[in-house]
């Protein structure tokens, strides 16, 4: 399998009145063609910023991004724009990301028209839109409907059709099912998995909910305050979660027989600020296993099993 997307030490900092906010702070990732990387972490840990930075929708502060070995950071604005037929994004809230004044036809046509596809070929465009609606499971009778006339699941299907319209290879799915009812979530996840199988798509699938990526990912990266704290093939991550934060996230997956007090316990402690972060482990203040050295030393990812990386020097002791 060949690597489609790679980042090296990717950083995105935001200037704030209180200093630099390290939203994405040195992320290294690789996604093979046709595979899905799940990116998981709590609100504000930098998932969306990472997704946008990888597509250069937001310019990174530092680091490198490669698409099929091409250096995206070396490209100028025009070259980056031309990449948007290869790399697309699906957003969390299909309501606010769709222009309410545009019909489904217009919404699906828009990315193609912006990219000068089907120029002067109305018939070809109509046919393509019909095909796309069929692919994502939107009835033909809805062609001239408006987003407000549809439920959340169908609106997200428009989002998927828009992303697919330019025939991309890579799609960043930013919490695409988080705003949907559980039953509808499964339908959209199945649709995304079917599309991946049929078209060989590569996904970065962002979510705050580990149970959502359980089905769709090949590999999972857990983020905490701009950093990757653990990365592993999916099965390995679920069977051998090794970073205290990953363990806390797993405990937070609601299961009927889990003690609610256990869930609350993991959220104890002060959340440190991502603005001018101090050296040392960023999870230290909430970690039940914290030691003095955790506050002082920077933590690097270590490979504790094949392709399983953990940013905690004490993980084997904790889990041993």
User: How far apart are alpha carbons 39 and 24 in whole angstroms?
Assistant: 13
Encode burial over 193-217: b for 16+ CB neighbours within 10 A, e otherwise: eebbeeeebbbbbbbbbbebbeebb
CB of 132 or CB of 252, closer to ligand ATP? 252
Sign of the torsion formed by the C-alpha atoms of 106, 122, 167 and 76: negative
CB of 159 or CB of 280, closer to Mg ion? 159
63 binds, among Mg ion, ligand ATP, none (CB under 5 to 8 A by kind): none
CA nearest to 98, candidates 70, 135, 47, 138? 138
Q: What are phi and psi of 235, to 5 degrees?
A: -60, -40
The binder of ligand ATP chosen from 4, 21, 212, 252 (CB under 6 A): 21
CB of 104 or CB of 216, closer to ligand ATP? 216
CA nearest to 171, candidates 89, 92, 84? 89
Show contacts with ligand ATP in window 63-82 (CB under 6 A): none
Interaction between residue 48 and ligand ATP (CB under 6 A): yes
Length of the chain: 320
Give least dist CB 48 to Mg ion, A. Answer: 3
Show contacts with ligand ATP in window 156-215 (CB under 6 A): 208
Interaction between residue 56 and ligand ATP (CB under 6 A): no
Residue 203 bridge partners (DSSP): 36, 171
21 binds, among Mg ion, ligand ATP, none (CB under 5 to 8 A by kind): ligand ATP
Interaction between residue 45 and ligand ATP (CB under 6 A): yes
Applying CB under 6 A, the residues found at the interface with ligand ATP are 14, 16, 21, 23, 41, 43-49, 208, 274
């Amino acid at each position: 399998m060949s690597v489609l997307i790679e980042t090296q030490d990717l950083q995105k900092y935001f200037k704030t009145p209180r200093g630099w906010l390290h939203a994405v702070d040195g992320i290294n990732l690789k996604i093979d063609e046709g595979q899905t990387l799940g990116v998981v972490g709590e609100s504000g840990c930098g998932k969306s910023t990472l997704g946008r930075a990888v597509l250069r929708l937001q310019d990174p502060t530092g680091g490198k991004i490669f698409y099929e070995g091409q250096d995206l950071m070396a490209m100028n604005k025009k070259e980056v724009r031309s990449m948007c037929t290869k790399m697309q994004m699906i957003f969390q809230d299909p309501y606010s990301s769709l222009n309410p004044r545009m019909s489904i036809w217009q919404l699906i046509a828009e990315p193609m028209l912006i990219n000068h596809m089907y120029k002067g070929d109305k018939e070809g465009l109509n046919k393509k839109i019909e095909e796309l609606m069929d692919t994502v499971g939107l009835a033909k009778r809805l062609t001239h409907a408006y987003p407000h006339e549809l439920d959340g699941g169908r609106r997200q299907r428009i989002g998927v059709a828009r992303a697919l319209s330019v025939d991309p290879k890579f799609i960043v799915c930013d919490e695409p099912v988080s705003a949907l009812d559980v039953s509808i979530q499964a339908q959209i996840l199945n649709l995304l998995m079917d599309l991946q199988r049929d078209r060989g798509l590569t996904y970065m699938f962002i979510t705050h909910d580990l149970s959502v990526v359980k089905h769709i990912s090949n590999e999972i990266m857990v983020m905490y305050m701009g950093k990757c704290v653990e990365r592993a093939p999916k099965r390995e991550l679920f069977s051998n979660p090794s970073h205290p934060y990953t363990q806390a996230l797993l405990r937070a997956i609601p299961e009927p027989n889990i003690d609610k007090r256990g869930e609350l316990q993991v959220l104890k402690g002060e959340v440190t600020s991502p603005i001018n972060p101090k050296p040392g482990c960023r999870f230290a203040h909430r970690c039940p296993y914290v030691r003095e050295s955790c506050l002082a030393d920077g933590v690097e990812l270590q490979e504790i099993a094949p392709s399983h990386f953990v940013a905690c020097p004490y993980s084997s002791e904790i889990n041993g």
